[in-house]
Structure 1
Amino acid sequence: MLVPLALLLVGLWEQQRGAGDWAEVRAEHDRLVRIVADLEARTPRDGRPDFRLQFRYDGQLYGGPYAVVKAHEARDRMDTLATVMEWRRRLPPVAIAGGAVAAGLSLLVLIAGAALGWRGRRSRDALVRGFSLVRRILPAALAVQILATTAGFVAVVVFEAGILVRGGVSGEGMKLLAVAAVAVGGTVLAAAGALVGLRRALDAFEPDPLPILGRPISPAEAPGLWRLVEGLAARIGALKPEAVVVGLTDGFFVTAGPAELEPGGARLSGRILHVPLAQLALLRGDETAAIVAHELAHYAGGDTAYSQRFLPIYVGVGRSLDAVAARQSSALGPLGPALHLGLFVMERFHLAVRHWSRQREFAADAVGAGTVSAEAASRALLRSGAVAPRIAETLEAAAAAPHAAPADLVAAMLDRAAARGLDDPAIHLEAEQAHPTDTHPPTRERIAALGQTIDANLLTAAGVTPPPHALGQLAAYFADPAGLCRAATADFLDAVRARDAAFRAELEATAAGVGTGEQVLRANDRTRGLVLVMAGGLFAAVALGVAVFGIPGMLPREVGVILVAALALAVVMGGAGAFVLSRGEPVILVLRAEGLTVPGLDRPIAWDDIADLDMTATYTGIVTRILLPPAAPWPQRLPGHHAVKLDAKRRIVTLPLPLPHKLTPQGFADLIGTYRAAAQARRILADKAVRSEAEPA
């Protein structure tokens, strides 16, 4: 609201100033018209000079025919200035309208967003309907906001720049006009880019399939598990899942959208229940029943369908904000109101979604507790947190060394839990259980909602080390538990190897991206030299024209000053351009696979020795700052290269570089990033090679 209101107020202020400036210039124009008419009427018709004719302007007194000439010049200049002031006074209404539209739209969206958020916290259907409307309307509202704010901003800047014309454009005035032109141009381009991005944000969104590392299990392969699931679904009045997937990596969860199984890429759709094998062995029967009933309760309450409905809304609103945020840094502020407006709407959306996420988790917990007991459901929550570290440790060790992983990771998880014990459940009370699509309230709040007190007895029961026969519990669920555990282990290790292979291929491609040769970056001095030479030639032509033809209406002394100034500029600029061209295009950096060489330093800087690097674009080029760690060799500056700055205390090397030939600032930054990524890729590949040599065949 502040930026649009500021534009509105500035527009009102400029409207008063614009009217006053126009009236003042118009009055001066009319006065000069009368003076010119009077001087022309008094000028002798026979062409004889009459030095009684006088004209005073800008502190100078002109007499005779020169008075008439200068009066004509002043009138013509004031005529042009009056036209400029006429157009200038039309700009404040644009700023006022732009600020008013943007402020009104902001207020409307703020009220609508708050109202939709309030309604959304009272009805999930109202939440989906309201924010479905937001997804369609918000991009258009942001577009209007951007157009109005940009128009107001441009009008304000152009109005203020117009006052520079009144006093004559000096060197300082030219700089200010250039700054105004850059500000207006950058803002207009950024606004246009944001509008294009908003148009693309309206495109239809189809959610990607949910990746699940696991395999589907049929009723014949898991008769006990399917009986448990179907019995609980019938008991709580929920739809039973159309597919059950077992795996090692995730916990219990349900989904109703498309899914893609790893490894292999098999596609599933419809209602899917994921069951983790390790938890089936590590949890008690009533704990498992409470958790499965909790997940099936999401089907009974339509939670999964609801999640699939609001996901496209969430992504659509997010796309709109991304389109504005991507251009905000180039717009000097006018895109800020649109971005903050969208963020406010998204915040209302988050609060409503979080409200229903908490409510549906508490409701599902109550359903799960109703199938067994509140104590068993609370124990299941605590025990899930206590067993999770042992499972994660086993999987991490297998992923780090798949060649040495056991054939049955479920048995390995149980062995690790038996040997080390489980975590103290109390340290996981504030944790929010992981879930691939939804959020959960902290465990402490979920147990409190079940009416249970977290006492020593409950914590002790949840943290009991699994007995040696825990693996045998799987026989109650599966026809061939040992074979299924080995198959799930093979799936996990195959996925790990596939990801490692993809990662290695990416590393090799990155390392090979810079090749083994060197890339020499040269300063883009040729263009600058040619511009200076052409400017010098232009001033030389001006000097020649003044010397040959003179300047009508000016005194010889003034013509001489202009001639000397033009000749001086021609010599200075032409000489500077010739000097720049004579140097050619000097080398500013040499990039190699192992490091970069800087003219002016006595040694190269290895990519692996760079702890951090940042770049800042300036008017003259790019300032690059390199941070070297204490263990890295410290370079020394060669004589005659004072541009390179060394800060040995802070270990920073500063390189003020001109823009390299045929590279934009972003292109230069991307090139440096490519070389650093290639060096990092080679280092990772070398580490992997060392580890592989130490591995048994």
Structure 2
Amino acid sequence: MTSAFRALICACMLAGFYLVGLVELSLVIGLIVWVSIATSPFVAKLFAGALLGAFGAMAVAAWRAMRAKPEPPQGLPVGRADAPLLWSTVEDLAREAGTRAPDEIRLVPDVNAAVTEDSRLLGLVGGRRYLYLGLPLLQAMRVDQLRSVIAHELGHYSGQHTRLGGVAYRGRLAIAGTVGGIGGANPIGWGFKAYANLYLLVDNALTRRQEHEADRTAVRVAGRTAAASALHDIPVLDAAWGFFFDSYVAAGWEYGYLPDDLFGGFAQLVAARQEEIAALREKAPPGERSKWDTHPPVAERIAAIMAAPEAPEAADPRPAGVLLTDPVAAGRAMQQTMVEVGDRTVLPWPEFTHAALTARMQRGADRILRSATRTAGVTEPGLPGILAAVAAGRSTDLAAPFFPDATRRELGARFAEPLAALLELAAVRSGVARWRHSWSAPAELLYRDGTPLELGEIADRAVAPGGLDEALRRLAALGIDPGTVTQVDRSESAIGARIIAGIANCKVDDVPHDVFALTNGFVFVADPGDADEGKRRLRELASAAPAAELAARNRFLPYEEIATARVIKEVPLRAELTLHGGTTVVVREQWSSETISKKCQDAFAEIIEGLAEETR
């Protein structure tokens, strides 16, 4: 199938989308004429205004989408002087693939590679070419694997797949923009939505075929073994990349810190966890995928690769980073140009880990201290106030919110667990202990001499009858000052929270709201807007900013502030939340409510039922 023919398919499918619009407009006009004949002119005017208004909104969305331009090239440009070996490798592979080399190579912070081309005239005339290489691939792959990845991308050039980029981009954007402007109850949009699904099915099937073609180029140029192993490794490295950000970067980022060598950290993680990465490689590659996916299943692609004739390419086990003159400098340059530091504090990795985990400890301590104020009457928001409550025999009251299933007899001793967390923070604040960073294992909290910090026994002793004085003497002997632990945040924040569910067009105390359920609280968005726009509005809010920013801009109700909760009615959902101060909040779903995903009602009900169980 030639590039021109593929361009013709895309152009015809896009033209067909607007043909559907013309047909629907004709039907609308005919319906308006019929209504004007069958009813009064006044009814006809109202009907015509509603239909043409809805159609006009969709036309505006489509026009804006068609006028939109692709995003400018992203990533860190790599010049020939910066990485001569990488450039010569790419140019050699381009000759073997029978295509023109890219005009620019850019490094990106993804486990991915891609090519684009600024083509013209529906892809019939080529333009400037860009090759995007994920820095994590250069940090974790072998040279022969990376050669295969690059050869695959160059196969998109030799197959003239990139010539369709502009047409495909505008087609998808126009369709998404038009369909996104259609309310769920608008019958005018039904034909548009059905055709949009057909367009995506055809376009995705075409893309999947192109991936197989590019794989054949990779086999011919770089060899079957390298092509299969590279394709198998990409999901593995993607999992490692996700683990790196979740386990090492996220906490510090959320609390206002940034490592000074963000991307270099991934290279160190890969080097330190080779056994775990090897175990991931032993697993079967991903199999079945949806018909809506743009790429075939990895297992299917590997099977096709292994069925192809082997090319006479020698293995090159060198780390792919040798293709860059200075991989560490490249990572630091990418961080400087692509990571928005803002007001975050930049620290070396060991200090970053210590600061991030200490901030997490403080957040946990604040929860304990706020609970103590509510349930045990602690007036001094700090560890000394907690110890005073223990001395006054209030351990049972202090523990009750954390162990709702425990008996009254058990509660006093159970408070040793949250107390130990406060003592550990006191050890850090007193300079007695510090978090030790490690690439091969989780960070450890250690004494200054490098031995593990163990304060559980002291906490147990503190809550035992008559044992507090001895516990305090042992803390003093260790140099731990309880006075260093005080409350920082008077209320819970949504830092680090995730959105679990969202329901639009609810009533909160009889006032219209959109409601999001986070991992640690509810967000109530007042004055939501048009009821027909609910799902689109939820998705835009959820994707526009992290959950913490969404909570900061709207009313945030942490779960910890809810004293009791009950479900009054399941469908549509109606729940009553009573706060510790006595205020009651009633959340009521309506029949016109829309959800961000299919299981949102169940998620909301489970959260409220869970709160009800915890507060019984």
TM-score (norm 2): 0.49
CA radius of gyration, larger in: 1
